[in-house]
Structure 1
């Protein structure tokens, strides 16, 4: 199958990761994949690094003259590549390809959505998703319900597909755990709690540091914090200031950019995802789960669908988070039970399952297109 994977995302966020990982898996399974993205974007760089063939067009341009010429550029690309299926991961490109599909395009069209925002329930959007698209992918149950309820997408044309995890790359690494713990000066007596995620207000670093600070005040002096991340929208200096304000600066370490993410995750005794919003795909949660670390999370996005209720707290509820962190670090039965529960849920989150579900939906889309 020849697949045009349309990834007009400005940076490598969760949506781009979902699309790029799917493209990598499809190519590995023997399909011919072309990634279409924005010229000069980090997504273009990442796609090439993954060994994916890449084409670029100004899909997100606001220049009216550029937009007028874009349909002609897309038609030339379609004639040249001749895809069996086009998979759009952003709404801007979906509009263009939806119109081309209804104007005689012979390709099957799939709309994949992994955005925290629910689709707008208007007439044009209903037409795009029920008449132009041959199938729809929802990356989490909330999106699935919205597509069915608000846009009227038939249940046979939509599938819930979680992003997969490469379980060969992400698995518990005992040797890596020892190395990373030694690097940051942790002993067997230390209980290390960590947060995996870029430095951005949405990720809840401030609230996490405040929650752990409550444990320190209560006398839990063997707790240590490992922040596996780096500055993006929020600076490292700001995160360090939050640690100082919470009284945990001396016990907080920041990894910066790392290649050995699985080893860093394995070094933790407990991981927390305290995000304030977003998490429509929750890549970090899946990577932590694959490394068999006990995990706590806020009740945002897809996280309640991945974790048991006993592992969840409301966003910004610092007291509830602190109580769960204490239990996760010092109640062995609780933490072992979490790992066992998460391991059972990992069956639906592997790369193999991601590929299987994607191909099943694509086959259905092609059947609908014929």
Structure 2
């Protein structure tokens, strides 16, 4: 039995959070040696955390009051020490910083971090300042391995100075069956959102932040009569986007649905998915839309761009140009609304395969993983024993000192 504690910043609705919930359902079933999981959330349990807890997975709330609450570190370390976990697996920037330090303070033998949201010049919607990069690199050395969710992210990690031998690429996974089209679900979701049965709807799913470029979609939809835009997600840009919608006279045609746990339902309500984001680490929303049988228009999606051409015939790339998006949305809205077949690219990211790769990483560390895209050759791969011995050269006192560097540095970076 391998006992794993997943540490994540929070458990509200988001791509990394939903990916963790999916992994928790599949990890116990894919490993030759049983995997038992628990979750620690630095901040609130949230709606998703309550759902995870209802499945029988223990969820621990650390009670971090804000980015500057360094007192959360010993609380997390005590939880890890009491739990005597075999593996601590961290997710998202703040949890990776605090979680790796706490795990080393507690003497956890293997510490894995998944990098979900490292963009080019930003991480989780925030600028990657020098302080952010330095703190990340300092705490990364305390871990055993860093998982990149795409080759694109692996390259960014190398650019930050993370040694290639400590990086392994394990993509996000998808359960395609969960997004299979359901006509009754489409009808009920449309009724709930005030959308008529025959209205053409183009949708977008994601956090409302500048890099998602939902402003471009509003500009593209404004001159089109008879087409509605469904924006699903929450975030700091909502107020600005609502003002833009009013200024362009499109208030009656843009629906701000907020965050949801029913992504399959909102996808069923759509006739096409638009993803104009200029910064993505993977592009899970695009895969989910393809699994739902939707035509997809996108600008950046490593999940597609890192695969051979032709694996997603109903996905088309568009430039960051509002008139081009407007013309394409109008063309798609006037076209047939039949669901498209699930393309081969979706099968490549099956959750069972990705969960199995993680389970092997938990058990064997960075020894060559069958079926896993690694960033280095087999000869360059660092074994678990080597990684662990190197990491353990850093004593608990050193780990503690990393966490106790000048507070202004932690305050600026751990956001």
Same fold (TM over 0.5): yes
How far apart, CA to CA, are the structure 1 residues paired with 2:148 and 2:94?
17
Would the aligned equivalents of 2:186 and 2:268 in 1 still touch at CA under 8 Å? yes
Give the aligned length: 349
Structure 1 range deviating more: 157-166 or 38-47: 38-47
In the alignment, is residue 56 of structure 1 matched against residue 61 of structure 2?
yes
The aligned residue for residue 225 of structure 1 is 228
Return closer, same or farther for 1:242/1:95 CA change in 2, 3 Å cut-off: closer
**Quick check: 119-128 or 132-141, which moved more?**
119-128
Alpha-carbon distance, 1:251 to partner = 4.2
Match of 1:313 in 2: 318
Which deviates further from its counterpart, 118-127 or 48-57? Answer: 118-127
Counterparts of 1:313 and 1:292 in 2: how far apart (Å)?
Answer: 19
Equivalent-residue separation in structure 2 for 1:270 and 1:230 (angstroms): 17
Secondary structure of the equivalent of 1:363? Answer: helix
- Within a 5 Å distance, the mapping from 1:242-253 to structure 2 comes to 242-253=244-255
**1:185 corresponding residue in structure 2:** 196
Cα pair 1:106 1:369 within 8 Å, conserved? no
CA distance in 1, matches of 2:57, 2:69: 28
Q: Structure 2 vs 1, CA of residues 159 and 230 (structure 1 numbering), >3 Å: closer, same or farther?
A: closer
Bigger mean CA deviation after superposition, 286-295 or 44-53? 44-53
Q: Answer with 81-90 or 44-53: which moved more.
A: 44-53
Query: Unpaired segments of 5 or more residues in structure 1?
Result: none
Query: Which residue does the alignment assign to 1:266?
Result: 268
Q: Quickly say closer, same or farther: Cα 1:305–1:178, change in 2 above 3 A.
A: farther
**Following the alignment from structure 1 to structure 2, what is the Cα–Cα distance between the partners of residues 25 and 254?**
32
Distance 1:318 1:76, change over 3 A: same
Q: Which residue of 1 aligns with 2:8?
A: 7
Aligned to 2:35: 31
Query: Residues of 1 paired with 2:286 and 2:178: CA distance?
Result: 15
CA contact 1:125–1:151 (8 Å) conserved in 2: no
C-alpha RMSD of matched pairs (Å) = 3.9
Q: Does 1:168 align with 2:174?
A: no
Aligned to 1:347: 347
**Is the contact made by 1:272 and 1:295 (CA closer than 8 Å) also made in structure 2?**
yes
Q: CA–CA distance in 2 between the matches of 1:359 and 1:309?
A: 33
Question: Is 1:134 the counterpart of 2:124 in the alignment?
Answer: no
Under a length normalisation based on structure 1, what TM-score does the superposition of the two structures give? Answer: 0.76
Separation (CA, whole Å) in 2 of partners of 1:144 and 1:207: 29
Verify the 8 A CA contact 1:230 1:255 in the aligned structure 2.
yes
> CA 1:12 to 1:261, structure 2 compared with 1: closer, same or farther past 3 Å?
closer
Distance change (3 Å), C-alpha of 1:308 and 1:127: farther
Q: Which has the higher contact order (CA 8 A, sep 6+)?
A: 2
Shift of 1:228: 4.7
Among residues 196, 200, 218, which one is paired with 1:209 in the alignment? 218
1:110 corresponds to: 112
Specify whether residues 252 and 105 from structure 1 end up closer, same or farther in structure 2 by C-alpha distance, changes over 3 A only. closer
Q: How much does 1:159 deviate? A: 2.5
Q: Distance in 2 between matches of 1:245 and 1:95?
A: 41
- What is the alpha-carbon distance in structure 2 between the residues aligned to residue 232 and residue 122 of structure 1? 24
- Measure the CA separation in 1 of the matches of 2:257 and 2:138: 47
Higher helix share: 1
Q: Is the 8 A contact 1:165 1:350 kept in 2?
A: yes
Distance 1:163 1:125 in 2: 21
Contact 1:269 1:329 in 2 (8 A): yes
Structure 1 position 21 matched with structure 2 position 22: yes
Unaligned runs of 5+ in 2: 368-382, 386-415
Deviation at 1:138, TM superposition (A): 0.6
The SS at the match of 1:55 is strand
Per-residue deviation, 1:348:
2.5
1:299-310 alignment runs, 5 A limit: 299=300, 304-305=305-306
| Deviation at residue 234 of structure 1 after TM alignment | 4.4
Distance 1:97 1:259 in 2: 26
- The secondary structure found in structure 2 opposite 1:311 is strand
